Structure 1
Amino acid sequence: METPEPLTEDLLLNGRVRLLQPRYGYRAAIDPVFLAAAVPARPGERILDLGCGVGAAALCLLARCPDVVVEGLEIQGPLAGLARRNAVLNEAERGFAVHAGDAARPPAGLGGFHHVMTNPPFFESGSGTRAADASRAMAHEEGGLDLAGWIKAAVKLLRPKGRLILIHRAERLGDILAGLRGRGVGDVAVLPLWPKNGRGAGRVIVSARKSVRSPLRLLPGLVLHDDAGAFTPEAQAVLRGAAPLVGEEG
């Protein structure tokens, strides 16, 4: 499939990441930046960006942690093609390999990752008005895998003690925790992202480790905007300074 046109070139992390993406349809925003910031990657580790889109999270992670190897899996051929172009654009092609394929049926040999980061489709199939753009609809609405199936696929691709990190709508936290149950994971941690002080969380970042038995933790959250609508200094540190959201795992 051909790369979608027309394109825009956008900047993330205060210009450290250049991102070609479709002008219309699916477009990466701040979610992949926060997702990448939540990965406690160490030099030499392998990370999978499951459903990588145009590579935004992968490239943000590499900007902060250049000594890791990131692979992406993306079902939409045009987006996978853009992710490869973005790897070249950011001189990261040695650290970022992109596979075109389905999370439900990953390419043979894919697995054994230290971390799997992912931004699964937000909406249950048939739960609302479907986006007119086919690419956007596929990225935002569950298809062959529901959320529990997506989580199951992600956990399978981890090595023992590897960590799954996902960002999702806060209202689906119950579904996420249910999807993790019975998957052989522990050390589940929930980090809420609040749009403003006094507002309910709009997003949650959830992580869990494979083959580890530790209780669930509710982490200190992050307020994204001040009363005037500007990003808070803490949010700016992530969005512009590539600051991590978490420390290294033990």
Structure 2
Amino acid sequence: MSENLSKDAFLGGKLHLLQPKSGYRAGVDPVLLAATVDARAGDRVLDLGCGVGAAALCLGARVPGLVLTGVERQPVYADLARRNGGAAFEVVTADIADLPLHIRERQFDHVLANPPYYKRSDSRAARDLTREAALGEETPLADWIKTAAKRLAPKGHAHFIHRVERLPEILTEMGKRLGSIEVLPLSPRAGRMPELVIVRGRKNGRGAFKLHAPLVLHEGQRHEKDGDSYVPVVKAVLRDGAALTF
């Protein structure tokens, strides 16, 4: 293994991912996103901006028999995703705004996305270029949603995780193309404002909008000791690869 890479355990060791030691590294966000996807064996899954493959491969570890495809524009991360997933994970090096024809000709039952969180018009860019590419928005969020909706099969679901302050934009853009939209806020602790949201929409969906009660991630009112303090349902996702129903 290269001295610039680490091999990190996810899902309590059920999955191991090669990642750069510096630059952008997958955390809990794609793991939580994958846990909310109600997929079944045989479903076709597209992970937009897949990075090293964390979301798609966490989903694949929980639900065997999926047809997994990832799109990643940074060649170094796309290569790591291929190494992490092997033959079970098709990874295409491309920008989500310029997908190759063989992807544009296909439809998927689920599209996952953990887009860059920050508009650089009102935040500072990261010094590391790979980290900045993962965190700083270049392709507008509206284009991520448009691409996800286009690639969905009828009745297929799009699944996004993002910062809560981008929720109005997500709802506006999803509302143009998807229905049966549901939002799960993620709060760091009880009594704290949500910082992230997981948003799901269905192609041709007709269900009413649903705003779910926030999922509290950590026990207690504040961080008081070393080690994780995740609530049992979140610990089951992160350590055991459990599903997260909403």
Identity %: 47
Cα distance in 2, alignment partners of residues 232 and 209 from structure 1: 29
- The answer to whether the Cα contact below 8 Å between 1:120 and 1:147 also exists between their aligned partners in 2 is yes
Cα distance in 1, alignment partners of residues 180 and 142 from structure 2: 18
For residues 1-250 of structure 1, the aligned pairs below 5 Å read: 6-88=4-86, 93=87, 95-110=88-103, 111-143=106-138, 145-183=139-177, 185-227=178-220, 229=223, 230-246=229-245
Question: Is the partner of 2:184 in helix, strand or coil?
Answer: strand
- The AA in structure 1 aligned to 2:132 is A
| 1:176-217 CA distance string (max 9 Å, x none) | 11121322x100000111100000111100000011222111
Cα distance in 2, alignment partners of residues 174 and 103 from structure 1: 22
Question: Is the partner of 1:188 in helix, strand or coil?
Answer: strand
Question: Is the partner of 2:91 in helix, strand or coil?
Answer: strand
- The AA in structure 1 aligned to 2:240 is G
Cα distance in 2, alignment partners of residues 187 and 33 from structure 1: 23
Taking structure 1 as the reference length, the TM-score comes to 0.91
Taking structure 2 as the reference length, the TM-score comes to 0.93
Q: CA deviation at 1:5?
A: 6.3
Partner of 2:226: none
Cα distance in 2, alignment partners of residues 219 and 241 from structure 1: 24
Post-superposition, which runs of at least 4 consecutive aligned residues in structure 1 deviate over 6 A?
none
Cα distance in 2, alignment partners of residues 67 and 97 from structure 1: 14
Report the RMSD for the aligned CA atoms in angstroms: 1.5
- The AA in structure 1 aligned to 2:4 is P
| 1:58-88 CA distance string (max 9 Å, x none) | 1100110011111000000110000011113
| 1:27-80 CA distance string (max 9 Å, x none) | 000001001101110111000011000001111001100111110000001100
- The AA in structure 1 aligned to 2:156 is G
Cα distance in 2, alignment partners of residues 171 and 142 from structure 1: 14
Unaligned runs of 5+ in 1: none
Quick one: structure 1 residues 127 and 134, their matched pair in 2 at CA, closer, same or farther if it must change by over 3 Å?
same
Q: CA deviation at 1:222?
A: 1.5
Aligned residue-pair number: 238
Unaligned runs of 5+ in 2: 224-228
- The answer to whether the Cα contact below 8 Å between 1:4 and 1:22 also exists between their aligned partners in 2 is no
Higher helix share: 2
